[in-house]
Amino acid sequence: MIVQSDLLLTNIGELVTMAGSPGLRRGEAAGELSIIRKAALASFSGKIVWTGQTRDAHDNVELVDNSLEINAAGRVITPGFVDSHTHPLYAGTRQVEFAMRAMGSDYEEIAAAGGGILNSVTRTRQASSDDLEDNLLKHLTTMLLYGTTTVEVKSGYGLDLETEIRCLETASKLSEYWPGTITRTFLGAHEIPPEYRNRPDEYIRYLIDQVLPEIKTRELADSVDIFCEKGVFTAEQSRYYLQAAKTMGFGIKMHADEFHDTDGASVAVDLGAMSADHLLSISDRNIEKIAKSDTVATLLPGTALFLGKPFPPGRKLLDAGAAVAIATDFNPGSCFCESMPMMINLAVCQCGFTIEEAVTAATVNGAAALGMGDYKGALAPGMDADMILWDLDDYRGIAYHMAIPDIEDLIVAGQLVSSIFE
Ligand code: NIG
Ligand code: FE
């Protein structure tokens, strides 16, 4: 059958398709990139319609009027990165705290003294919606330049109904004009706000009774997350809250076992969460538990690097058979970095991933962690035409070049994004 196309890429040196069984990749499947060499790819109206060998392209693809044909000249093409965990909805910076850490203060000590997340909350509550939008756009533009075409954006620096809604509305507004795809997560349970100091149960009640229903009615978020951590929310509070969110129809995610093992990953698995994220301190028992589940283990190696903490146990999770994703955790306090190529390099150099496992974690498994595994993260017929044209002839260069993306151009929803690189 001949398919119609409005975008045809030919002479692709390596087309990293990630095609294969839909959904989570674990075990040996996590190392399979399904590369087509001397490849071609056709898309139509933003969806991939055909992949194969360049020599077969014109027998299978009919170009419609005003279509674009690109000779990739032997270069590598991969799916665009899926950054499945970021916190870019905030105002102000935390450079002063960064300087304090450089002088020996600890991240958790700064937070316990009223800094940290609460510092950003004060600034975010005072910020105008225009300022929030400018900041979000700035960081999402950088993400795009570094190859991220799908991003999860969390709220969580408002911690009251008005500011949380304003932040999520800002994300919704950007999704209308930022070229990639944005998915929104409500993280009202990121910290206990000053008004509820020492009353976390009452804050959770407020979120469940007053905030979540409003977010749901206004369709402002796709999923709900909580920071389960010593000194923030306990595993039991997290279970109660996420169960309520799930009952309301939200997807659920969890910041789990970041600094201390609080059994968070276990709760995430019990509730069927889409992902349990961070896991620097996950117990061996919970590594086995998450490995047997469909909850994605999302690792954020940039945070460990930025905070000078031990890296997450990537190899152990992979060997146990967990479906593992990697993401930036971009945020003003614990990881001020938008670069997915940096996370890929850290996953390989510090967390025991092979290059192939790291690419899987940054594409298909990231998409699965966002419930987008059916249409993001792979380059096969039916999937969204979001891809990176690399200035590389060997995909291994993606991990090899630390932090810096050798990106020539991007295609998002079947459209070249070159204008932003000029
Ligand atoms: O994922 N762990 C909780 N939240 C963020 C940090 C946020 C901040 O410091 O502003 C994280 O690391
Ligand atoms: Fe985070």
CATH 2.30.40.10 positions along the chain are: 3-79+378-421
Mutational pocket test of ligand 1: of 87, 185, 186, the residue with most ligand atoms within 8 Å of the beta carbon: 87
Average pLDDT over residues 250-265: 97
**Ligand 1 binding pocket includes 117 (Cβ within 6 Å):** yes
| pLDDT above 70: residue 23 | yes
Task: Specify the residue with its C-alpha closest to ligand 1, atom 12.
Answer: 334
What is the 194 CA–ligand 1 centroid distance (Å)? 17
How far lies 194's CA from each of 42, 181, 201, 203, 317, in Å?
A: 54, 34, 14, 10, 37
Q: Ligand 1: does its nearest atom lie under 6 Å from the Cβ of 280?
A: no
Average the pLDDT over 169-186 and give the result. 97
Distance CA 48, CA 8 (A): 10
| pLDDT exceeds cutoff 90 at 418 | no
- Rounded CA-CA distance 163/122 in Å is 11
State the DSSP H helix or E strand holding residue 68, giving kind and residue range, or none if neither.
strand 61-71
β-strand pairing of 3-16 with 275-278? unpaired
Instruction: For the chain, give percent helix, strand, coil, nearest 5.
Output: 40, 25, 35
Instruction: State the closest ligand 1 atom to the C-alpha of 117, by its place in the atom list counted from 1.
Output: 10
Task: Give the C-alpha separation, 276 to 408, whole Å.
Answer: 33
pLDDT of residue 421: 60
The chain-wide mean pLDDT, for the chain, equals 97
- Kindly state the helix (H) or strand (E) to which residue 44 belongs, with its residue range: strand 35-44
Ligand 1 centre to CA of 153 (Å) is: 13
pLDDT in tens, 359-406: 999 999 999 999 999 999 999 999 999 999 999 999 999 999 998 999
Name the least confident of 11-15, 134-138, 237-241, 414-418: 414-418
In the predicted structure, residue 306 carries a pLDDT above the cut 80:
yes
Ligand 1 lined by 149 (C-beta under 6 Å): no
Burial class (CB in 10 A: 0-12, 13-18, 19+), 137: middle
Q: 255 CB less than 6 Å from ligand 1? A: yes
The fold of the 3-79+378-421 domain, in CATH, is Urease, subunit C; domain 1 (2.30.40)
**How far separated are the first and last CA of the chain, in Å rounded?**
39
Cα(191) to ligand 1 centroid in Å equals 9
Round to whole Å and give the CA distance between 209 and 225: 16
User: CATH 3.20.20.140 spans which residues of the chain?
Assistant: 81-369
The arithmetic mean of pLDDT across residues 20-45, rounded, is 95
Give 65 or 422, the one with higher predicted confidence: 65
Q: Whose C-alpha lies nearest to ligand 1, atom 6?
A: 334
- Cβ–ligand 1 distance for 405 under 6 Å, the answer no
pLDDT bucket at 422, cuts 50 / 70 / 90: low
- CATH class of the region 81-369: alpha beta
* Residue 351 Cα to ligand 1 middle (Å): 20
Distance between Cα 286 and ligand 1 center (Å): 22
Per-residue model confidence (pLDDT) at position 419: 63
Work out which ligand 1 atom sits closest to the CA atom of 111. 9
Please, which pLDDT band fits residue 21 given cuts at 50, 70 and 90? confident
pLDDT tens, residue by residue, 92-134? 999 999 999 999 999 999 988 889 999 999 999 999 999 999 9
